[in-house]
Amino acid sequence: MTQLAITDTGPLVAFLDRRDAHHVWARERFAELRAPLLVCEPVLTEILFLLRRFPAAQDAVLSQVQAGRLQIAFSLASESEAVRRLLAKYADVPMSLADACLVRMAEIYGDHDVCTLDSDFRIYRKHGREPIGLIIP
């Protein structure tokens, strides 16, 4: 069965790094998920930073964007007010910009689950009260 998914930083890094503790889990999940996987630019920024010592892995991520398998499906300019509300609501967690964008994407793309390694997504809610569908170990 294939799922529609929004992906966070952790699973993509784990997928590319064979030494990562979640590498096998990430490979299995991505084999099950339907392309394109939706991302936002803050997630891509985090991924490329975390992979800064691995230029081939950085290139692989950007190749996936170019091929359309990772689709940038979020405009911070259009969604800045909603993102600001989320950052304020979860300031005590604290919530990163990437996480706020992913929660907003979960609201916009309600048929997509969020693929993440971040347990904070168990706390976050879409539309203020609804749990977010998660693909998480």
Average pLDDT estimate for 34-46:
97
Strand partners, 7: 115
Which domains does the chain show, CATH number per domain?
5-135 (3.40.50.1010)
How many angstroms separate the first and last alpha carbons of the chain?
18
For 53-96, write each residue's pLDDT tens digit: 999 999 999 999 999 999 999 999 999 999 999 999 999 999 99
pLDDT given for residue 2 in this prediction: 65
Owner of token pair 């907003």? 104
Q: Report the alpha-carbon angle 83-68-121, nearest 5.
A: 35
- CA dist., res. 55 & res. 61, Å (int): 10
The model's pTM:
0.95
Beta-ladder partners of 3: 33
Question: How far is 104 from 108, CA to CA, in rounded Å?
Answer: 6
